[in-house]
Amino acid sequence: MTLTPVCPRCGEILVVRPGETAEAWCHLHAAVTPLHHAPVLAHDALAAVCADSRVPAWVPDPMPPGWSVGGIAWGGEPGARAIVVDCTGPGPLGGSAELLIVAEEPGTGLGSGYAGLPWLDPGELVGGSPAAVVRAAGQRAPMWDVPTSEDRAAFVGEAYGVWLWMITWPASAAWLLAEDLSLLDLRDRVYPDLPLGPPGDHLLPGA
């Protein structure tokens, strides 16, 4: 099931602007790449979204205890140029936590939308000493912390030639990045025992 496309930067439901290009239009951000989104209902549905994606679809590997994949969103069809996987599980200080892992081509603005930033790409935020390092399909991927609101933590780096974002709610869930985190690209393999669960509260930007 695919829900109504929204703006990748603010989550607003899009309209189609008349004309030969039939652009997807947001009243705040003008022409944008439509963000499609869906709860993950089955492994086959997840594999179908990932099959023709131009960017990785990252999940933690192994998945932290008690965590599951609950939703997926992608920008552009066919051949998504941005994709986000929504993971939820128990928080380190009690309650629930949520982790969004975004891979996107430059100029898409999806990661910035989740992080609450006003620009498309992180630019000068990437540089100096990284705050954390993850392993993306076996490759070392430094991650820099991004200034954002107090209810979340946001990190950005690069893997496979595109931006890699990780955004957590609450901010304390960023402990996941300190746990020698490794990421698997679901385009390569959707393993049959990947845990699936309900989507979190932040599958869409602006939520």
Domain boundaries, the chain: 36-185
SS3 of residue 139 by DSSP: strand
Higher pLDDT, 99 or 46: 99
Which amino acid, residue 149?
A: S
pLDDT by residue (tens digit) across 107-150? 888 999 999 888 888 877 777 899 999 999 999 999 999 989 99
Decide if 52 contacts 78 (C-beta within 8 A). Answer: yes
Q: Give dist(CA 64, CA 84) in Å, integer.
A: 18
Q: Give dist(CA 152, CA 115) in Å, integer.
A: 8
Global confidence as pTM: 0.89
As given in the structure block, the two tokens for residue 150 are 């107090």
Please tell me which of 24-33, 97-106, 188-197 the model is most confident about, judged by mean pLDDT: 97-106
Higher pLDDT, 127 or 82: 82
pLDDT of residue 76 exceeding 50: yes
Task: Return the closest-CA partner of residue 58 out of 181, 203, 197.
Answer: 181
pLDDT by residue (tens digit) across 165-207? 999 999 999 998 887 899 999 999 888 899 999 889 999 887 7
Q: Give dist(CA 18, CA 12) in Å, integer.
A: 18
As given in the structure block, the two tokens for residue 133 are 């390092």
Q: Which residue reads 């892992």 in tokens? A: 101
CA dist 91 to 70, 99, 100, 176, Å? 16, 10, 14, 10
Altogether, the residues listed in the chain come to a count of 207
Task: Return the closest-CA partner of residue 93 out of 172, 202, 17, 24.
Answer: 172
